Structure 1
Amino acid sequence: MAKHPSVLFEIIRKGNTVPHYIFGTMHMDNEDAFTHVETAIIYLKKCDFYYAEMNLDARGLSEIGNYFLLKNGTTLDQIFKRNHYVRIKKILLKSFGIDLAHFIHLIPFYIQTLIAEKALNSRYGLPLDHFLWQKALESGKKWGALKLLRIKSEFFNKYRWRFRLNP
């Protein structure tokens, strides 16, 4: 069992008493990803702003694909030995209906996410991060995205962290 079984964090900026909340999400749409969603929604209602890891509106989603491209035109069949690539391609097509040829320019992490989505039961029709984004928009929250690693790093280093387990 994890030392802190929650992915909801309360953070307070040094020298300030106003709490902020960060809910660590998985980019999945299964029961495990949504385990603490009710608690996250309670805290979402208390907030004025909602920040996601990246911009999840239509324009932002169109830019996300660039994060998953292999560098310098590299393809998956160049990363793996030929026989290994052919074997993986055959297994993915037979087991999950994923034709690796359609994803040849994408990083293996993206392929792993596709496999997980196919293997796990869908619950809400949206990955958890998109679901919470929609909830924030529906409730009229101001929103933003922590899209650059440098900004994320600076943001996380400004705050004192405390695990928050209950609403």
Structure 2
Amino acid sequence: MRLILSVISFLILPVFGFSQAKVKSEKALVPVQEMANSVLWEITGKGLKVPSYLFGTMHILCADDARLSDSLQYAIDKSDVVFFEVDMDNMSEIMGLFKYIRMKDNVKLSDLMTEEEYARVKKYFSENRTMLPLSMMERFKPYFIASMLSESKMPCETKNGMEEVIMQEVKRQQKPINGLESIAFQASVFDSIPYTDQAKELLRTIDSSGKEDSLTGKMLEVYRSQDLGAIEKLTQDEAGITSYINLFLYDRNAKWIPIIEAAILKSPTLIAVGAAHLPGSKGVIQLLRNAGYRLRPVKHAINQRLM
């Protein structure tokens, strides 16, 4: 399952158990109007009879951070359906993602680097424990390899993803799960990025190994803070995505809005997507506001009860 989660983390484009008491009243939803630092938002207005909810995830987290707060539990309880970026409950599609890992035209990792650069990659794999040996990943897309290595930098042994935690609860309640886009589409986004650029990102990941200010550490820190401004800045400053930020984020955000609108007009819905998709003038929050909805930040605290 860990390998599958890593692959999902790769294809669910990143820019990045607690006692879960059942919440019975809206007291669990604590408004934080005085601050916008939240990854959980309530969607109302424009004729909606009942609220829907928007939640920003981080695809791989330390297990202690990947928990349901009372307010997120409430959002799940009150929603009839959940949308992730892709349909994570469709195992045929999830397992089918493995065909997108390999580069096209029999390209190998060594074809994308100088001898000296490739030697650095080999040295890293010889000196560090990784999920798979380099020999098995020679033809994998470099972004996939970089994603696996970034996960290994997490300052914890046990990891999980918010999507996985949410999905377990949604399946327990026997509610339907849908996707805003297909894995085939997400794979096409990666295929739009030259393998040489992906190889540079892999090298950058390897060269930053062991540094306390690694991107992975920064991502975890800002996600814990729920500071959407900091999440947006980190995303925009990240060298590996800056040139492709429209491809990774903004174009996809715009395509999601009609799908989200159709879903929330039909029934109360929880939309859970990468947190980097939420902030900014082209983020999902603002795009929904532009479409006439009201979005209210809701307190999401996993380490304290809200009632």
Question: TM-score band, normalised by the shorter chain?
Answer: 0.7 to 0.9
Residue 85 of structure 2: aligned partner: 53
CA contact (8 A) 1:9 1:164 kept: yes
Q: Is the 8 A contact 2:42 2:298 kept in 1?
A: no
8 Å Cα contact 1:10/1:21 also seen in 2: yes
TM-score scaled by length of structure 1: 0.76
In the TM superposition, what is the alpha-carbon distance from 1:141 to its structure 2 partner?
1.1
Among candidates 87, 95, 109, match of residue 76 of structure 1? 109
CA positional deviation for 1:37: 3.2
TM-score by length of 2: 0.45
Counterpart position of 1:117: 151
Q: What one-letter code is carried by the residue in structure 1 that aligns with 2:52? A: H
Tell me how far 1:33 sits from its aligned partner: 5.1
- Which residue of structure 2 aligns with residue 153 of structure 1? 254
Query: How far has the Cα of 1:8 moved from its partner?
Result: 2.0
- Aligned equivalent of 1:42: 74
Distance, in Å, in 1 between the alignment partners of 2:128 and 2:45 is 48
Aligned equivalent of 1:105, options 139, 142, 145: 139
Q: CA RMSD in A?
A: 3.0
Question: How many equivalent residue pairs?
Answer: 163
CA–CA distance in structure 1, aligned partners of residues 42 and 166 of structure 2: 17
Q: What is the percent sequence identity of the aligned residues?
A: 21
**Is contact 1:11-1:22 (8 Å) kept?**
yes
Deviations 1:141-167 (A, max 9, x none): 121111246886333265327352326
Displacement of 1:63 in angstroms is 2.1
**Where does residue 39 of structure 2 map in the other structure?**
7
Give me the whole-angstrom Cα distance separating, in 1, the residues matched to 2:64 and 2:145: 20
Shift of 1:9: 3.0
Specify the alignment match of 1:85 in structure 2. Answer: 118
Q: Distance in 1 between matches of 2:175 and 2:76?
A: 9
Q: Which amino acid in structure 1 is aligned with residue 295 of structure 2?
A: R
Determine the C-alpha separation between the residues in 1 that align with 2:88 and 2:124.
Answer: 32
Match of 2:297 in 1: 164
- Structure 1 residue 27 displacement after superposition: 1.7
